[in-house]
Amino acid sequence: MGRSSGERAARAALAGSVAVALAVTLAACGGGAGAAKEPGGKPGGDAARKTDPTRIPGVGDALHKRIPGKSRQVVAVYGKGKDSAAATVRLFTKKGEKWTPGRTWKGHNGRKGWTRDHHEGDKRSPIGVFTLTDAGGVRSAPDAKLPYTASAAFAPPTYWPKKTRHDFDHVIAIDYNRNKGTSPLDPARPDGEAKGGSIWLHLDHGSGTSGCVSIPRAGMEYLLRTLDPDEHPAVVMGDRAALAR
């Protein structure tokens, strides 16, 4: 999806203006040392079990009804457990009234697991349904359909572990406590600083995050090429028990 030179310039200017707040902005996604690796979760849904094709497998009424009616693309994040950092991420596409499963990736969420009441620094990912409207990263993504801000300001601090060096080559902002239609670097927190923010989909470094969801590079590149603003993409995320309620 093309962007005018004026729009690109505006987004680049915003990225530059918030660079000084980068350490705070990236804190939610940071990969600190000592996070233990965990095995990936099972694929979203049970292939051996018949499911209602008008529903996303493993997602109960409470969260399913929060998926926007216009959404025809949903990224489902199935956390292995409430206190686990392991997750499986699967893309679903709605055709007619039916949700069709697509590609699946093993990934990670917050290193301490999941929460329904996320706060800054709790190292847990927020449970819920959130829209996906903006993307960005250190590297450009010419095939991205979501509005994309490429800027060196996304680079993790040099004192972070070496394995996190490329975490933010590409990111997709999860619309938790942020203003839609802005760069993922925008430090604004509409619900207050205490509620945290900068919850992103980003590249996986092999272990838990500080609240974001991570997947392999190939998965991120695929999502950037596939998620389309015209399809109103969203993410439904949480541990399996929480998702099923």
Q: What does the pLDDT read at residue 51? A: 77
Summarize the confidence of residues 4-29 as an average pLDDT.
50
The reported pTM is 0.84
Quickly state the pLDDT bin for 113 (edges 50, 70, 90): very high
Name residues whose C-beta falls within 8 Å of residue 223's C-beta, 6 or more positions apart in sequence: 75, 91, 172, 201, 215
Summarize the confidence of residues 180-186 as an average pLDDT.
98
Name the token pair of 101. Answer: 């499963």
**DSSP code string of 96-123:** TTEEEEEEEEEEE-BTT-EESS--TTS-
Q: What does the pLDDT read at residue 48? A: 33
- 11 or 218, which is more confident? 218
Q: Cβ(67)–Cβ(227) under 8 Å?
A: no
HSE at residue 20, side-chain half, CA atoms within 13 A, is 2
Q: What does the pLDDT read at residue 117? A: 97
Name residues whose C-beta falls within 8 Å of residue 20's C-beta, 6 or more positions apart in sequence: none
The residue among 212, 226, 228, 232 whose CA lies nearest residue 79 is: 212
Question: 98-108 and 86-95 as β-strands: parallel, antiparallel, unpaired?
Answer: antiparallel
Which residue bears the tokens 């399809």?
231
Q: What proportions of the chain, in percent to the nearest 5, are helix, strand and coil? A: 20, 25, 50
Q: What does the pLDDT read at residue 87? A: 98
Q: What does the pLDDT read at residue 99? A: 98
Instruction: Round the average pLDDT of the chain to a whole number and report it.
Output: 87
pLDDT above 90 for 102: yes
Which of 48-62, 128-142, 203-217, 226-240 shows the lowest per-residue confidence on average (mean pLDDT)? 48-62
Summarize the confidence of residues 65-93 as an average pLDDT.
98
Q: What does the pLDDT read at residue 68? A: 98
Report the distance separating Cα 29 and Cα 120, nearest Å: 11
Q: Cβ(139)–Cβ(150) under 8 Å?
A: yes
Question: 114-115 and 98-108 as β-strands: parallel, antiparallel, unpaired?
Answer: unpaired
Q: What does the pLDDT read at residue 111? A: 97
Report the distance separating Cα 11 and Cα 19, nearest Å: 13
Name the token pair of 66. Answer: 């929060």
Q: 45 — alpha (psi -120 to 50), left (phi > 0) or beta?
A: left
Q: What does the pLDDT read at residue 198? A: 97
Quickly state the pLDDT bin for 28 (edges 50, 70, 90): low
3-state DSSP assignment of residue 244: helix
- 54 or 24, which is more confident? 54
Q: Cβ(14)–Cβ(149) under 8 Å?
A: yes
Sign, CA dihedral 134-184-201-45, equals negative
Using a pLDDT cut of 70, give the percent of the chain over it. 80
Q: What are the two backbone dihedrals, phi and then psi, of residue 23, each rounded to the nearest 5 degrees?
A: -60, -40
Q: What does the pLDDT read at residue 35? A: 37
Q: What does the pLDDT read at residue 234? A: 98
- 147 or 40, which is more confident? 147
Q: What does the pLDDT read at residue 19? A: 45
Summarize the confidence of residues 170-182 as an average pLDDT.
98
pLDDT above 60 for 221: yes
Question: 73-79 and 86-95 as β-strands: parallel, antiparallel, unpaired?
Answer: antiparallel
